[in-house]
């Protein structure tokens, strides 16, 4: 798959990419892109409540369960997945882990990057993932940074922030509405595979419908039924205003 264009998805926890970006992942996978999901944490402490209700549960068993769930979801979506295991509540990246993240940018030279919003007062791991993603993108461009390959300033992919759970509290701006109607069933199957957080399936199904209604209102494309919202960070460079 070396000749395929790549999308990098940096997810703070093992399930975040499913709720927030599974539609984009499935859509680009079907278009022939290589999609790599980078999970910084398993979410073993803060986002695995159902598992911790099981008597005798341990951190390692939670990690194993979340690893299996997320791997199934990635397979459904047609994506690759990598786990960095940086801890949870809080995510604590080592210098070595940051270099590995930079290596992902250097090696795969993504066309698009998806990650979390700048703010989330309910979960500080999410802004941490945003910060690490943006730093890795910049470090990867620096010729002197000690990572694989060579840094080039023109290796500067656009970054899109996916929608947080409570967007109003996170100052999230839905600037892009992505039509995911053709791949909705894949997203639904991926969400349903995340048994540790099954209560979120209905929430994100309703959100997909609401964003779909907004996408129709802003485009006139009445065939849209489901959409995901994204916020851009860097300016779009174009010779056409559309």
Cβ–Cβ < 8 Å for 66, 43: yes
Residue 237 has pLDDT above 60, yes or no: yes
Q: Is position 192 within any domain?
A: yes
pTM over 0.85: yes
Instruction: Quick: pLDDT tens for 131-159.
Output: 999 999 999 999 899 888 888 877 899 99
Instruction: Quick: pLDDT tens for 27-71.
Output: 999 999 999 999 999 988 887 777 778 898 888 998 999 999 999
For residue 1, name the pLDDT band (cuts at 50, 70, 90): very low
CA distances from 88 to 43, 74, 123, 187 (A): 6, 21, 11, 25
The greatest distance separating any two alpha carbons of the chain, rounded to the nearest whole angstrom, comes to 60
| CATH (domain of 118) | 3.40.50.10320
Q: How far, in Å, CA of 23 to CA of 57, rounded?
A: 32
Cβ–Cβ < 8 Å for 132, 95: no
Q: Minimal CA–CA distance to 130: which of 170, 73, 100? A: 170
* Domain count across the chain: 1
Residue 3, pLDDT score? 66
Q: Is position 236 within any domain?
A: no
Q: Is position 239 within any domain?
A: no
Instruction: Quick: pLDDT tens for 172-191.
Output: 999 999 999 999 999 999 99
| Sheet of 80-83, strand order | 80-83, 34-39, 6-11, 112-115, 159-162, 227-232, 176-179
Q: Is position 130 within any domain?
A: yes
Q: Which two tokens stand for residue 169?
A: 């509290």
Name the burial class of residue 131, with classes exposed (0-12), middle (13-18) and buried (19+) by CB atoms within 10 angstroms of its CB.
Answer: middle
State which residues form the domain around 92.
Answer: 6-230
Q: Which helix (H) or strand (E) holds 190?
A: helix 184-192
Q: Is position 132 within any domain?
A: yes
Q: Is position 186 within any domain?
A: yes
Q: Is position 116 within any domain?
A: yes
Dihedral of alpha carbons 11, 38, 214, 234, sign: positive
Q: Is position 36 within any domain?
A: yes
């Amino acid at each position: 798959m070396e000749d395929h264009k790549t999308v990098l998805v940096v997810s703070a926890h093992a399930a975040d990419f499913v709720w927030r970006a599974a539609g984009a992942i499935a859509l680009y996978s079907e278009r022939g892109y290589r999609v790599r999901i980078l999970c910084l944490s398993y979410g073993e402490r803060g986002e695995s409540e159902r598992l911790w209700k099981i008597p005798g549960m341990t951190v390692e068993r939670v990690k194993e369960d979340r690893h299996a769930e997320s791997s199934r979801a990635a397979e459904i979506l047609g994506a690759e997945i990598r786990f960095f295991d940086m801890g949870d509540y809080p995510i604590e990246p080592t210098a070595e882990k940051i270099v590995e993240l930079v290596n992902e940018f250097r090696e795969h030279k993504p066309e698009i990057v998806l990650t979390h919003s700048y703010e989330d007062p309910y979960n500080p791991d999410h802004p941490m993932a945003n910060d690490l993603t943006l730093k890795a993108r910049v470090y990867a461009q620096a010729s002197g940074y000690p990572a694989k390959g060579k840094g080039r300033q023109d290796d500067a992919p656009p970054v899109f922030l996916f929608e947080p759970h409570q967007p109003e509290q996170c100052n999230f701006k839905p600037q892009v509405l992505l039509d995911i109607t053709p791949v909705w069933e894949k997203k639904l199957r991926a969400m349903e595979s995340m048994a540790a957080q099954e209560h979120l399936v209905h929430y994100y199904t309703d959100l997909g419908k609401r964003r779909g209604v907004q996408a129709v209102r802003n485009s006139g494309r009445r065939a849209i039924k489901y959409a995901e919202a994204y916020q851009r960070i860097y300016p779009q460079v174009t010779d056409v205003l559309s």
